[in-house]
Structure 1
Amino acid sequence: MKQKVTAVFDIGKTNKKFFLFDEDFKQVHKEYIHFDEIVDEDGFPTENLPALQKWLKEVFSLILKAEKYDIEAINFSTYGASFVHIDENGDPLTPLYNYIKPIDQKLIDDFFAKYGPKVAFLKQTVCSDLSMLNSGIQLYWLKYRKPEIFKKIKYSLHLPQYLSYVFTGIPLSEYTSIGCHTALWNYDKKDYHDWVYAENLHKILPPIVSTETSINMNYNGKRIKIGVGIHDSSAALLPYVRSVKKKFALVSTGTWSIVFNPFAKKPIADNTEDGNTINYMRINGKPVKATRLFLGNEYKIQVKKLDKHFGVSDDFHRNVSFDYEVFFEIMKDFQPCFKWESITVPNMPKKTKITYNKFEHAYHQLMIELVTLQLESIKKCIGTDDVKRLYIDGGFSNNDLYIKLLSHYFRGMKLRTTDASLGSALGAAISISDKKLNSKFLKENYSLKKHVPFILK
Structure 2
Amino acid sequence: MSKIPVTAVFDIGKTNKKFFLFDENLKEVFNTYTRLDAIPDEDGFPSEPVLPLREWMLKTFKEALSSPDFDIKKLNFSGHGASFVQTDDAGEPVTPLYDYLKPYPEDLLDRFYSENGGKAAFCQQTSSPPLGMLNSGLQLYFLKHAKPELFKNVKHCLHLPQYLSLIFTGELVSDYTSIGCHTGLWDFKRMDYHEWVKREGIEPLLPPILPGNTLLKTKSELGSIPCGIGVHDSSGALLPYLKRQNESFALLSTGTWAISINPFNKTALTESELFKDCLQFLSISGQPIKISRLFIGEEHKVQIEEMYAHWKLPLGTYKKLKFDESLYQKVSKNNKKRIGFHYLKPADYGLEKAESTDWSSFSEFTEAYYTFLHELTDIQVASTQLVLKEAPVSRLFVDGGFNANFIFLEMLRKKLPDLEIIPSDFPNGSALGAAMLVNMDAQD
If the TM-score is normalised by the length of the shorter chain, which range does it land in? over 0.9
Q: Distance in 1 between matches of 2:224 and 2:207?
A: 25
SS in 2 for 1:94: coil
What is the CA distance between 1:38 and its match in structure 2?
A: 2.1
- Aligned with residue 414 of structure 2, among 408, 415, 431: 408
| Correspondences of 1:351-362 after superposition (within 5 Å) | 351-354=356-359, 355-362=361-368
What is the CA distance between 1:62 and its match in structure 2?
A: 0.2
Q: Distance in 2 between matches of 1:257 and 1:401?
A: 16
Q: Which amino acid aligns with 1:392?
A: V
> Partner of 1:380 in structure 2?
386
Q: Distance in 1 between matches of 2:109 and 2:258?
A: 26
> Partner of 2:403 in structure 1?
397
- Aligned with residue 434 of structure 2, among 428, 434, 442: 428
Q: Which amino acid aligns with 1:19?
A: F
Taking only the aligned residue pairs, the percentage that are identical comes to: 41
> Partner of 1:443 in structure 2?
none
Q: Distance in 2 between matches of 1:304 and 1:407?
A: 26
SS in 1 for 2:132: coil
Show CA shifts across 1:342-388 (max 9, x none).
11222321111222131111111111111111110111110132311
Show CA shifts across 1:291-318 (max 9, x none).
1111111111111111101100122122
Change (3 A) 1:87 1:297: same
SS in 1 for 2:97: coil
Q: Which amino acid aligns with 1:94?
A: T
Within the alignment, does 1:369 sit opposite 2:375 as a pair? yes
What is the CA distance between 1:414 and its match in structure 2?
A: 1.7
What is the CA distance between 1:121 and its match in structure 2?
A: 1.1
What is the CA distance between 1:222 and its match in structure 2?
A: 2.5
Q: Which amino acid aligns with 2:358?
A: K
Q: Which amino acid aligns with 1:410?
A: L
Change (3 A) 1:203 1:65: same
| Correspondences of 1:48-447 after superposition (within 5 Å) | 48-220=49-221, 222-266=223-267, 268=269, 271-346=272-347, 347-354=352-359, 355-419=361-425, 421-434=427-440
What is the CA distance between 1:51 and its match in structure 2?
A: 1.5
Change (3 A) 1:47 1:149: same
TM-score of the superposed pair, with normalisation by structure 1: 0.93
What is the CA distance between 1:93 and its match in structure 2?
A: 0.9
Query: Structure 2: where are the runs of 5+ without partners?
Result: none
Q: Distance in 1 between matches of 2:94 and 2:273?
A: 33
**Which range moves more in the overlay, 121-130 or 217-226?**
217-226
**Contact kept in structure 1, 2:123 and 2:130, CA below 8 Å:** yes
SS in 2 for 1:6: strand
> What is the Cα-based RMSD across aligned positions, in Å?
1.7
Q: Distance in 1 between matches of 2:270 and 2:280?
A: 6
TM-score of the superposed pair, with normalisation by structure 2: 0.95
Change (3 A) 1:221 1:260: closer
What is the CA distance between 1:334 and its match in structure 2?
A: 3.5
SS in 1 for 2:98: coil
Q: Which amino acid aligns with 1:426?
A: L
Show CA shifts across 1:24-81 (max 9, x none).
1100001111112221111112222222111100100000000111101110101000
Q: Which amino acid aligns with 2:323?
A: F
> Partner of 1:452 in structure 2?
none
Within the alignment, does 1:47 sit opposite 2:65 as a pair? no
> Partner of 1:450 in structure 2?
none
**Contact kept in structure 2, 1:175 and 1:282, CA below 8 Å:** yes
Q: Which amino acid aligns with 1:26?
A: K
What is the CA distance between 1:8 and its match in structure 2?
A: 0.3
Q: Distance in 1 between matches of 2:222 and 2:46?
A: 38
Q: Which amino acid aligns with 1:326?
A: L
Query: Structure 1: where are the runs of 5+ without partners?
Result: 439-457
Q: Distance in 1 between matches of 2:36 and 2:309?
A: 25
Q: Which amino acid aligns with 2:200?
A: E
Q: Distance in 1 between matches of 2:353 and 2:269?
A: 30
Q: Distance in 2 between matches of 1:12 and 1:221?
A: 23
**Contact kept in structure 1, 2:176 and 2:212, CA below 8 Å:** yes
**Which range moves more in the overlay, 410-419 or 393-402?**
410-419
Number of residue equivalences: 438
Q: Which amino acid aligns with 2:122?
A: F
What is the CA distance between 1:435 and its match in structure 2?
A: 5.1
